[in-house]
Structures are given as structure tokens and as C-alpha cells.
Amino acid sequence: MKYKGQIGSIEHDLEQGVLYGKLLFINDLVTYEAESLRGLEAEFRVSVDEYLADCERMGVSPNKPFKGSFNIRIGRELHQQLAVKAADEGLGLNEAVQRAVEEFVVAR
């Protein structure tokens, strides 16, 4: 689920007959629970709104799910191969990795 830039999970507990989830990709723990999908989405939205309001009240920035950059470890040999291939195509490493990630995401 997505709402106001936040992404939430959907899990189930068959024994309890409930659906539940939490906000993903943030450092804080924000959870929600309901007995139906419609109810879970409503609780998710309430939880996001409360989380954002709490952050504002405390004067802190909410955790941003994604900032657009990350570090990867690919090993020396693959790093070198990437650098050579990128240079051959007139690209920087960032652009080459971005293209590879876009291709991976779109192909799925």
C-alpha cells in the first residue's frame, strides 16, 4: 500500500483472523491492524497521518523511505568490468548502474 510517500506491508494471522502491517523502509515502528482489506487500508492511512503529525509536533523530519542513492558491493572484478563497459559507452558509473537497475525493474 502507498500513501503520502509511505509504503506499508500487508500480512495475515489466520489463527487470529486479522490482517496487519507496518510502514516499510523507515527506522520508526508504525503498525496497523484490521479484519478486512478495506479496514486495513483505512488503518494504514490513519497510521501514516498520525506518524506524520507526531513528527511535526516533535519538530523532527519523518523518515524518508528513499533518498535516491545507495551503496552497493559488487566485488573488484565486476566493478572493473562495469567501469570499462561504461567508459566504452561514454557513461559514468552512476548512469550505467541506473540503466541496469531500470532494466531489471522494468523487465520484472
Rounded Cα gap, residues 81 and 57, in angstroms: 49
Q: Taking the model in full, what pTM does it have?
A: 0.69
∠ CA 5-71-79, nearest 5°, is: 140
- pLDDT tens for the chain, 108 residues long, are 999 999 999 999 999 999 999 999 998 999 999 999 999 999 999 999 999 999 999 999 898 767 788 899 999 999 999 999 999 999 999 999 999 999 999 987
Contact partners, residue 84, CB within 8 Å, separation at least 6? none
**Domain ranges, ordered by start, for the chain:** 2-58, 76-107
